A and B are shown apart, each in its own frame.
Chain A
Amino acid sequence: MRETSEKKTAGKKLFGELFSSHNLGDFLFERLTLLFAVSVFLLVLLMGYQMYHGSKLSIDKFGLSFLVNSTWDPVQEIYGALPIIYGTVVSSFLALIIVLPLSIGVAIYLSEMAPAWLEKPLSFLIELLAGIPSVIYGLWGIFVLVPWIRNSIEPYLSKNLGFLPIFRGAPYGFGMLAAVIILAIMVLPIISSISREVLKAVPHSLREAALALGATRWQSTKIVLAAARPGILGATMLGFGRAIGETMAVTMVIGNRALISPSLFDPSYTLASVIANEFSEATSDMYLSALIYLALILFVLTIIINALAHLLVWSMERKWKAA
């Protein structure tokens, strides 16, 4: 009897020295969940590798000049991504400019002003907006937004402000303007909900300090916004990251032509919509490889933007938790 129990304790001691857990069950459980966590880690690496490998053909041929060549002509096998990158960045950037003040306004309203009974359903509605599939936005875009732009907005802008280069051209409906509007709608819920989290993380004592000095509500809100600035910047970047990756809604309304034009009325092309449009029809290896190269660019861009954004938001939340 004594021998067996001594052996058991000796075995347990060995375990205890090597691992943090004290019995086999804990050991297995921890290692099992760890395995899955590691797989996520490996997955991201795998994704990067796959895309690099898939685009190697065109990377070898075009190198970095791919990013600045301005002709995208699959027929002649000339692949330059500049107009596509232009379309991606410009459409997202413009959408962001429109939507940023609105999003922050919504975040302020929901976190500072709205009565409790109103805040919950409202924030749910805004969440719902984020949950609508991209293709449904696109559907609505084709049959409601684009005709409206073609029949009302563009003619109006053309008549009154048509001398401006951004409003030049025929009212086609499909084009940069439609994409910008739809991106703005899609990105608003993200920026506003993260901003709201960020505003909530600012301790209440800050508002109290401002109000006790005789500040008005708006003045105290400004002080809170200043304190939340890094987080709001992070929210904006996340919105931007989402916008550049948005595929279906954009491809359904943007016109899908690779050209660089100052006019909002003209069609355009984004990284995501090229891939969506042309991937299944890619006939040659080089064509496919060029498309995967585009995907790689998009991948790298979104990773960088999202990584920076998350660091900003997390740093803010940690700062306040420590304080």
Chain B
Amino acid sequence: MEIKISIKNLEAFYGKNRVLKSVSLDIPKNKVVAIIGPSGCGKSTFIRCLNRMHEVVGGSMTGSILLDGEDVTKVDPVLLRKRMGMVFQKPNPFPTMSIFNNVAAGLKLNGLRNNKKLQPIVEKCLKQAALWEEVKNNLDDAGMNLSGGQQQRLCIARALAVDPEVLLMDEPASALDPISTTKIEDLIFELKKNYTIVIVTHNMQQASRVSDYTAFFYVGDLIEYSETRKMFTSPDKQQTEDYIRGRFG
């Protein structure tokens, strides 16, 4: 099993505040890893360290994160983020752009402007995001006119357009209705054939449905990391069991 991202002794800080303590885990290629844990345990911070978005809000980190063996802190973050796509909790399509331009945004930011070349890529990404059938006749409509679930799939298509190797998803379905949530979960199942996916979720059923591996965080510590099936049937640590059984949250 190939390791896509290797994390060793990751510590994350906001100023002097330490929010992640010595986290080490390996993320295998083309698998889905779910990050679970109660609010404030550092799950969002963890995922943002991976593509260095943590720095944008003034955070810092120590330890090593290796993407295909390459140290992430030694790479230009602008380049790094092209290899790791990110989908956020609240759908955030660009408000002034059409559906087409939203998907193409990442490409345009990186120099690809020719509409003829963009067209097939946009189509392919919208198909991958299971949105193509719904929007293929109104690609020039405003991205903001779509429903919440559609907007989120648009954001997924946008992230895919840059051809990343890894998809980082921060609670992608938590702002959506159950039907859209199911669509997104089906999507993740399809996407993992081609991408490595790390998904943060506070919904444990979602984690057990969708992921291959699960990591349980608690107040900045990685408590347990194992195959999802094992984590949800016979976890090693008592704390994990307590969280999963809903004894605290």
Direct contact of A and B (CB under 8 A): yes
| Interface segment, one of A41-49, A158-166, A202-210 | A202-210
> Which of A208, A215, A227 is within 8 Å of B88, CB to CB?
A208
Number of A-B residue pairs with CB-CB distance less than 8 Å in the complex they form: 61
Asked if A68 is an interface residue, CB under 8 A from chain B, the answer is: no
Interface digits, B77-92 against A, CB 8 Å rule (1 contact, 0 not)? 0110110011010101
- CB atoms of A229 and B96 under 8 A apart: yes
Residues of B close to A210: CB separation below 8 A: 94, 105, 109
> Which of B81, B82, B90 is within 8 Å of A205, CB to CB?
B90
Chain A residue nearest to B110 (CB atoms) is A214
Residues of B close to A144: CB separation below 8 A: none
A206/B95 contact (C-beta < 8 A), A213-B105, A214-B106 known: yes
- CB atoms of B109 and A219 under 8 A apart: yes
> Which of A206, A208, A226, A227 is within 8 Å of B53, CB to CB?
A208
> Which of A213, A226, A229 is within 8 Å of B109, CB to CB?
A213
Task: Name A's interface SS.
Answer: helix
- CB atoms of A205 and B106 under 8 A apart: no
- CB atoms of B96 and A214 under 8 A apart: no
A212/B109 contact (C-beta < 8 A), A206-B95, A229-B96 known: no
**How many Å lie between the Cα of A53 and that of B51 in the bound state?**
68
Asked if B43 is an interface residue, CB under 8 A from chain A, the answer is: no
Asked if A277 is an interface residue, CB under 8 A from chain B, the answer is: no
- CB atoms of A227 and B159 under 8 A apart: no
Asked if A216 is an interface residue, CB under 8 A from chain B, the answer is: yes
- CB atoms of B86 and A212 under 8 A apart: yes
A314 CB to closest chain B CB (Å) equals 17
Residues of B111-146 whose CB lies within 8 A of A:
none
Asked if A34 is an interface residue, CB under 8 A from chain B, the answer is: no
**How many Å lie between the Cα of A119 and that of B112 in the bound state?**
36
> Which of A203, A211, A227, A229 is within 8 Å of B56, CB to CB?
A211
A214/B82 contact (C-beta < 8 A), A206-B95, A226-B96, A227-B95 known: yes
A209/B85 contact (C-beta < 8 A), A214-B110, A216-B78, A219-B109 known: no
- CB atoms of B92 and A205 under 8 A apart: yes
Interface digits, A215-258 against B, CB 8 Å rule (1 contact, 0 not)? 11001000100110100000000000000000000000000000
- CB atoms of B53 and A215 under 8 A apart: no
**How many Å lie between the Cα of A165 and that of B159 in the bound state?**
54
- CB atoms of B94 and A209 under 8 A apart: yes
- CB atoms of A214 and B81 under 8 A apart: yes
B49 CB to closest chain A CB (Å) equals 13
Residues of A close to B158: CB separation below 8 A: 209, 213
Interface digits, B175-190 against A, CB 8 Å rule (1 contact, 0 not)? 0000000000000000
> Which of B82, B92, B96, B162 is within 8 Å of A209, CB to CB?
B92
> Which of B79, B93, B110, B159 is within 8 Å of A212, CB to CB?
B159
- CB atoms of B95 and A213 under 8 A apart: no
Residue in B81, B85, B95 whose Cβ sees the most chain A Cβ within 10 Å = B95
A163 CB to closest chain B CB (Å) equals 41
Asked if B67 is an interface residue, CB under 8 A from chain A, the answer is: no
Chain A residue nearest to B86 (CB atoms) is A212
**How many Å lie between the Cα of A208 and that of B155 in the bound state?**
12
Residues of B close to A207: CB separation below 8 A: 56
A-B contact pairs, 27 of them (CB 8 A): A205-B88, A206-B92, A206-B94, A206-B95, A207-B56, A208-B53, A208-B86, A208-B92, A209-B92, A209-B94, A209-B158, A210-B94, A211-B53, A211-B56, A212-B53, A212-B81, A212-B85, A213-B82, A213-B85, A214-B78, A214-B81, A215-B78, A216-B78, A223-B94, A226-B94, A227-B95, A227-B96
